[in-house]
Structures are given as C-alpha cells and as structure tokens.
Amino acid sequence: MNIIVCLKQVPDTTELKIDPVTGTLIRKGVPSIINPDDKNALEEALKLKDKYEDVKITVLSMGPAQAEEALREALAMGADDTILLSDRAFGGADTWATSETLAAAIRKIGNYDIIFAGRQAIDGDTAQVGPQIAERLNLPQVTYVQSFDIKDGKVTVKRALEDGYEIIEVNTPVLLTTIKELNTPRYMSVNGIFTCYGEGKYKVWGLNDIDVDVTNIGLKGSPTQVKKSFTPEQKGAGEILKGTTKEVTTLLVSKLKEKHLI
C-alpha cells in the first residue's frame, strides 16, 4: 500500500504577537512546527505501516527551504520518503494554485492508494487545499475524518459533523483530511532521529521537476489576491467598576437593568 501524506510547516500561531506600534505580525522568534492536523494525517499513515508490512509512506510538502526541518521530523517519526516542493515560482500561491502544484507532484509520485492531508493549516485555516487536490486528481474525498479503517481496499471512516458524525464507505484511491480526534501523533523515535538524515530520504523538487502549467501556479496563477491586511479592530475599553465586591456587583446589576438587558 502506498500512502502520500501532505504536510505543511507553519508558524505556531499561538505564539504570534502583534507589534503594538506598527500593528503588524511579529514573526521573529516564532517557532515553526508541523501543522497539527497534518501530524494526525502522518500518524494515521504510520499506524497502517505498523499494522501491515507493505506500506510505503511518502510525505509531500510545499514551502521554503527551511521546511526541510519539518520533513526530517516526519522521517524521524517513521516516514519512508519526503519531497519538498520548493521554487520561487511556487511562492505566494493561494489554495487554488497550491493544490495545482501539489496535484502535479502527486501525479509524478504516482501509484498511490491513500492520500492523507490535515483538514486545515493553522496559519490560513482555509481547509481548501485537500478537497482541491482531490478534485484535480479526480479522486473521491472525505473531509473531517475522525476514525479510519481499511479492509480489502475498502475504507470506512467516520466523518465529523457539527452535531454528530457520518459513517462513510469509499474505495481506494481516496483523499482523506484528518482532524485531531483521529489519533494522538507519536514522537520521533531515537532511531528515527539517527536515520532521518540518511541518503535519498529527502528530495527537493522545483518547477522543472513537475509537469504543471506555469500560468496556474504561484502568486500570478492565483485567482484570489490579498488586497489588504490589518489587525482586527477592537471596540474601545469600557468602564472598570470600582468598589467593594458588593458595591460593584450591585452597580453592575443596576446598569444592566437600566439598559433593559435583564
């Protein structure tokens, strides 16, 4: 069984701060991590590898050179092969152009049974790239996968809904997007850390390595454009009520009454 895992290196958004003077994002010193949902995608592939003998896991990522770190980590967790799509021509892509690029790379890898991808990346929170890859490869998809099982090439998954879940059956090849409820990702193994820098386990592909229409990729190939970005407006601070606990609570109740809120 051949499995492809799509994985992205992202800034840890819980560590992001806004520069109070310029109002822009401070990226300096913010750690880069494997996107959490993508770690669940990799873990599910690794679980299959634990269970069956003939499983090969290829991890695919697109990003700048520093994303190598995330792919080495994936190797240390147990992946067999990793490929980083990295080229100036790929940069600035929206989800439409990103999925075009990733789909081209997946076609080149070829011969896959399952593609696992995290539901969404914490930097963009779009959840769009997975389904868009599936469309380009003409694969069935199931998103928000919270449990997974495979028997004789038939996949059965639970797909999370807001108020419950669905049980869905689908044949391979298929693309699945994963959520954190699916599993608990393992840590890198000591042996994995020793071998993750081994020869041939990490490849970089550029524009010339994949078959893709250059007008459909990168910033220029992206249908959507960022017109502007800004820090969210916060409404002005209100009044801090002063006094003893008894005084302030009584005051609060009378203020709410005054406004007919209670």
Partner 1 sequence: MARILENEKANYKNVMVFAEQRDNKLMPVVFELLGEGKKLADKLGVKLTAALIGSDVDKLADELFSHGADIVYVTDNPALKEYTTDGYAKVISTMIDQVKPEIVLMGATHIGRDLAPRVSARVNTGLTADCTNLEIDDDGKLLMTRPAFGGNIMATIVCPNHRPQMSTVRPGVMKKAEASEGKKGEKVTVKVDFSENDIRTKVLEVIKQTKSSVDIQAAEIIVSGGRGLGKKEGFELVQKLADKLGGVVGASRAVVDLGWIDHDQQVGQTGKTVRPKIYIACGISGAIQHIAGMQDSEYIIAINKNPDAPIFKVADYGIVGDIYEVIPELINALDKAE
- Where in 27-56 is the site for partner 1 (CB under 8 A)? none
Closest CB 80 distance from partner 1, rounded Å = 28
The residue behind tokens 């980590």 is 73
CA distance 189 to 191: 5
Closest by CA to 60, choosing from 118, 130, 6, 137, is 6
Tell the smallest beta-carbon distance from residue 167 to partner 1 (Å).
Answer: 4
**Sites for partner 1 among residues 77-106 (CB under 8 A):** 94-96, 99
For partner 1, the closer of residues 189 and 231 by Cβ is 231
Minimum distance, C-beta of residue 193 to partner 1, in the bound complex (Å): 28
* Residue located via tokens 């240390």: 76
239 token code pair: 């009044």
Verify binding: residue 19, partner 1, rule CB under 8 A.
no
Pick the closest to residue 35 from 141, 98, 124 (CA basis): 124
Options 53, 152, 163, 199; binder of partner 1; rule CB under 8 A: 163
Least spacing, CB of residue 123 vs partner 1, in Å: 6
C-beta of 74: minimal distance to partner 1 in Å?
23
Q: Shortest approach of partner 1 to residue 201 CB, angstroms?
A: 31
Cβ closest to partner 1, residue 190 vs residue 226: 226
Contact positions with partner 1 (CB under 8 A) in 184-223: 213, 215-216, 221-223
Residue 170 as a binder of partner 1 (CB under 8 A): the answer is: yes
**Smaller CB separation from partner 1, 171 or 191:** 171
Residue 204 vs 251, nearer CB to partner 1: 251
Amino acid letter, 4 = I
Should residue 241 be labelled a site residue for partner 1 when binding is judged by CB under 8 A?
Answer: yes
The amino acid occupying position 116 is F
> Given the DSSP bridges, would you call strands 141-151 and 174-178 parallel, antiparallel or unpaired?
parallel
Half-sphere exposure of 138 (CA within 13 A, CB side): 1
Selection from 149, 184, 146 nearest residue 165 by Cα: 146
Tell me the C-alpha to C-alpha distance, in Å, between residue 44 and each of 140, 158, 185, 214. Answer: 18, 14, 8, 33
